[in-house]
Amino acid sequence: LTAYGLTENCGLVTMCAPGDPLEVIAGSAGRPVEGVEVRIVDDSGLGVSAGEPGHLHVRGVGVMQGYVGDPEATARAIDPRGWLRTGDIAVADAAGNISITDRSDDMFTVGGFNVYPAEVENLLCGHPAVLQAAVVGAPDERLGSIPLAFCVLRPGHTLTPDALAAWARTEMANYKQPRRIEIVNELPLNASGKVQKYLLREER
């Protein structure tokens, strides 16, 4: 089974159940466990519809009281009604199954449109020559930000940034298309295998 949780909620938030269809188990983190409420909201705090990405908030018996000795961080994390802002971007399907799609602090806007890097990364990895991809927002005077992609190729494949950019133009909306693509040998990873995007942003 698949599940989702975070330390600030003392563990589990959502979980699949025995008997769930395989596509639910493979494609989501399930539904809220007993004693936990979740909501997915837009930037203004309004709930979004099923299938729409938004900020995941959690409330329930497991939510922490706060960060020890850091009331400012606690206030940023938990609102007056007890909702914990997880910092994750999520999507719920019609049955309430939650999929975690990105981190709020990784999201950026291009000409007023929200770009979720994980979505663009998944699209780039749809190219047969691309093994890994990491996308960050780079400052742009006209659009505010533009997508910058770092891609690792599969062994034995060759691909130029221009060729990949041309392919991307056929696969994704204009505002999601990387304006710059760099082919790299590897991505900077931390000890748990997550891409250290702050290092990539420093290369903008």
In the predicted structure, residue 101 carries a pLDDT above the cut 90: no
Amino acid 192: pLDDT: 77
Confidence of residue 26 (pLDDT cuts 50, 70, 90): very high
In the predicted structure, residue 204 carries a pLDDT above the cut 70: no
In the predicted structure, residue 187 carries a pLDDT above the cut 80: yes
Residue 185, number of CB atoms within 10 A of its CB: 6
**What are the C-alpha distances in Å from 25 to residues 34, 84, 148?**
18, 25, 32
Confidence of residue 8 (pLDDT cuts 50, 70, 90): very high
Beta strand residue intervals within the chain, DSSP E: 3-6, 11-15, 31-32, 36-41, 54-60, 84-92, 98-103, 108-110, 113-115, 130-140, 144-153, 180-183
Q: What is the mean pLDDT of residues 135-148?
A: 92
Q: What is the pLDDT of residues 41-52, one digit of tens each?
A: 998 899 999 999
Q: What is the pLDDT of residues 59-83, one digit of tens each?
A: 999 999 999 999 999 999 999 999 9
Closest CA to 50 of 103, 100, 98, 89: 98
In the predicted structure, residue 131 carries a pLDDT above the cut 90: yes
Amino acid 17: pLDDT: 94
Triad 151, 56, 130: Cα angle to 5°: 15
The structure tokens listed for 73 are 């961080």
Amino acid 47: pLDDT: 93
Confidence of residue 197 (pLDDT cuts 50, 70, 90): confident
Confidence of residue 11 (pLDDT cuts 50, 70, 90): confident
Buried b (16+ CB within 10 A) or exposed e, 190-202: eeeeebebeebee
Q: What is the pTM of this model?
A: 0.72
